Chains A and B, each alone.
Chain A
């Protein structure tokens, strides 16, 4: 009996959480109207886009480099070393670029958003916004989601270039490939659709990361512990949703 009760409780809790998140999204959607806080949107472009560039860039360059090394180990066993450039280009643009950038953004941006909005919640700054005749969702949440949606694809384009460059460095300087052949193979295999599918994923991941950060921060309770839990939940839920959404989008665009 206790077993079924536990299952029931978990199901109710899960359904309630989904319902709460759906209501939050609906309220955010209703808040997308004027006035638009341009200064706040630009600040988020800076925080989410520009300041994430070093982390995303570092992740991309080493991912491309490792990918070149590992594929060399495998492909050299059946004399297919020339495919390394194709593998690096396709893996980075279609899969690793958006997914790893999304996960890095979940750690850097998702956590920061949840902590900032969570602190504003527990110190009554969100209530203060309301009393100053300002819709907190329009002022705090909408600019972050817009910035996530627009900045993430830009970050992924840069991550793609840096990732391919990482593979190029290893292939040319460590594995003694011809620079011309490597680049020729890379651009020969790449199609616009490969980059496009990566950018669609990136936009979706940008929305997921910012939505999770805002949702958990906005609904945080208690003091420092509540803000800590909100931050952890934002990062964990965003990371899991990125992996699930990645599979769904890949399936749809396959």
Chain B
């Protein structure tokens, strides 16, 4: 069963700089939420606060699968991490390991799976993301940006997680590769029946991967709703962002 994610009054400040103000979000089990917003709006801080890489401020609440993880650092979330996968913006593949070692990293360290078995499993995962078996023995530096993203996606889904986070999955990719990655994310997430949160500012990606959308602006959620409601919203911030209009004040 996929977990539900509930975030209540999540705030985060760095010194006097308040990056997140009372963010409230609910992601239902098995649904796909996309958090959109401009650069510096607090998207990445929100993601890192949810997964425990950054501790949120007092008064915040992060519930994952009915358990309060608000102030539990990521290194102490072993049980939660067993069913969690994440695709990082730059892929974050380990340079010193081959692609198959990257994909089976978690499996090899957690269970006593032997090398041959792990290699075969990695090749299966690579096939799911459209990469050939030969790629398994290469190092990340030998792959193109798009192939690295696919390999990172294969690593994110290798443990068959029920909760997956995608941080800017299409950043730095050409439009065709961006569409390929977005389609892969949507199909693989559906296949796993996972709850997903995607952080992005690419509206084409949002259209493919998300059921629900939340827009963050200045550290606050300014709009949240079903994807179909996006076209008819009266919210000026959302309208400007979705249609790429420059706000009057900025001119």
Contacts and interface: CB of A to CB of B under 8 A. Distances in A.
Interface stretch (A66-74, A132-140, A145-153): A132-140
Contacts of A128: 86, 88, 92-94
Contacts of A178: none
Contacts of B90: 123-124
A131 B159 CA distance: 12
A144 to B, nearest CB: 13
Interface residues on B, range: 20 to 34
B75 interface: yes
Nearest to B53: A127
B162 to A, nearest CB: 14
A123 B92 contact: yes
A131 B89 CA distance: 14
Contacts of B86: 128, 131
B91 to A, nearest CB: 8
Interface residues of A, number: 16
Contacts of B84: 131
A131 B94 CA distance: 13
Contacts, number: 49
A35 interface: yes
B88 A133 contact: no
A73 B106 CA distance: 63
Contact of A135 (B48, B53, B75, B82): B75
Contacts of A136: 75
B58 to A, nearest CB: 20
Contact of A132 (B53, B95, B106): B106
B116 interface: no
Interface in A102-144: 119-120, 123-125, 127-136
A133 B89 contact: no
Interface of A: 35, 119-120, 123-125, 127-136
23 contacts: A120-B95, A123-B90, A124-B90, A124-B92, A125-B92, A125-B93, A127-B48, A127-B88, A127-B92, A128-B86, A128-B88, A128-B93, A128-B94, A130-B53, A130-B74, A131-B51, A131-B74, A131-B81, A132-B106, A132-B109, A133-B82, A134-B105, A136-B75
Listed from nearest, the 6 A-B pairs whose CB atoms lie closest are A128-B92, A133-B81, A124-B92, A132-B106, A130-B74, A131-B86
